[in-house]
């Protein structure tokens, strides 16, 4: 089975072969020489080709946050099958005309600037999101009608959380 690991800018492809409950990883048809030993608390000692690394892993949703040698990577791991299923789901879910505005950063909703049902011109403010002392105005991407706010003032939101739904005019 093929396994894909994607960082922000790169993709690495491995092949996992199984035999009697044992797995063997291959990359470019070569067996991967890697010992991966858990040390607890999401820490691992990885010895690959006799090179030793200390690695910290934490998982959020479907993303692995991996720290190695001071560098930090968000890695998404997918096998062939999940990749195909995802592609089908994505193709079916796009609704015409409606758009959700998501939080570009985690933050606090300080003020809502528009009302449901109101028409807002492009580049005008929809709401103000504050994070760590900085205020960010979330603006209308195009002329639109505000359908529904999914958050209220003083709410805390995570990155990519849906803030409101709009419809293009």
Partner 1 sequence: MFTKILIANRGEIALRIIRTCNEMGIKSVAVYSDVDRKSPFVYSAFEAYPLGGKTSQESYLNWQKIIDIAKKCGAEAIHPGYGFMSENADFAEAVEKAGLVFIGPKADSIRIMGNKTAARKLMIKNNVPTVPGTEDAITDHAAAQKIAREIGYPVLVKAAAGGGGKGMRLVKEDKDFVQSVESAAREAKAAFNDEAVYIEKFVEEPRHIEFQILADAFGNVVHLGERECSVQRRHQKVIEEAPSSLLDNKLRTRMGEAAVNAAKACKYQNAGTIEFLVDKNKNFYFLEMNTRLQVEHPVTELVTGIDLVEEQLYIASGSALRIKDSFNSFNGHAFECRLYAEDAENNWVPSPGIIEYLNAAKGPGVREDSGVTKGSEISLYYDPMISKLCVWAADRHHALNRMLRALREYEISGIKTSIPFLIKVFEHKDFRAGNFTTKFIEEHQSELLGEDKALAEIASLAAILAQIEEQKKIKVISGNSHNNTISSNWKTTHRIRQLRT
161 belongs to the binding site for partner 1 (CB under 8 A) = no
Q: What is the CA radius of gyration of the chain?
A: 22
User: Taking CA 143 as the corner, what is the angle to CA 138 and CA 147, rounded to the nearest 5 degrees?
Assistant: 70
Binding mask 108-147 for partner 1 (x = CB under 8 A): x---------------------xxxx--------------
Residue 105: phi, psi to the nearest 5? -140, 155
The Cα 2–Cα 81 span in angstroms is: 9
Q: Which residues contact 85 (CB under 8 A, 6 or more apart)?
A: none
SS3 category, 88:
helix
State in angstroms the smallest separation of the CB of 117 from partner 1: 30
CA distance 79 to 102: 28
CB of 139 to partner 1, least distance (A): 16
Residue 38 interacting with partner 1 (CB under 8 A): yes
Kindly tell me which of 128 and 147 has the beta carbon lying closer to partner 1: 128
Which of 28, 61, 65, 143: binder of partner 1 (CB under 8 A)? 65
List 28, 29, 61, 69, residue binding partner 1 (CB under 8 A): 69
Residue 73's closest CA among 146, 160, 144, 11?
Answer: 11
Selected from 5, 128, 147, 151, the binder of partner 1 by CB under 8 A is 5
Q: Can you give the binding site for partner 1, defined by CB under 8 A?
A: 3, 5-10, 12, 14, 16, 18, 21-26, 30-36, 38, 41-44, 46, 48-51, 53-59, 64-73, 75, 77, 104-108, 130-133, 156, 159
């Amino acid at each position: 089975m093929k396994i894909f690991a994607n960082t922000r800018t790169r993709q690495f492809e491995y092949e996992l072969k199984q035999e009697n409950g044992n797995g063997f990883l291959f990359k470019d048809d070569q067996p991967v020489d890697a010992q991966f030993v858990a040390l607890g608390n999401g820490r691992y000692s990885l010895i690959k080709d006799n090179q030793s690394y200390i690695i910290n892993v934490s998982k959020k949703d479907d993303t692995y946050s991996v720290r190695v040698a001071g560098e930090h990577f968000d890695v998404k791991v997918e096998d062939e099958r999940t990749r195909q299923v995802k592609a089908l789901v994505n193709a079916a879910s796009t609704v015409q005309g409606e758009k959700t505005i998501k939080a570009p950063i985690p933050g606090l909703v300080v003020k809502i600037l528009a009302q449901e049902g109101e028409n807002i011109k492009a580049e005008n403010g929809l709401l103000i999101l504050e994070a760590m002392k900085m205020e960010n105005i979330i603006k209308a991407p195009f002329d639109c009608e505000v359908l529904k706010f999914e958050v209220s003032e003083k709410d805390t939101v995570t990155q990519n959380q849906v803030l409101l739904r709009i419809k293009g005019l």
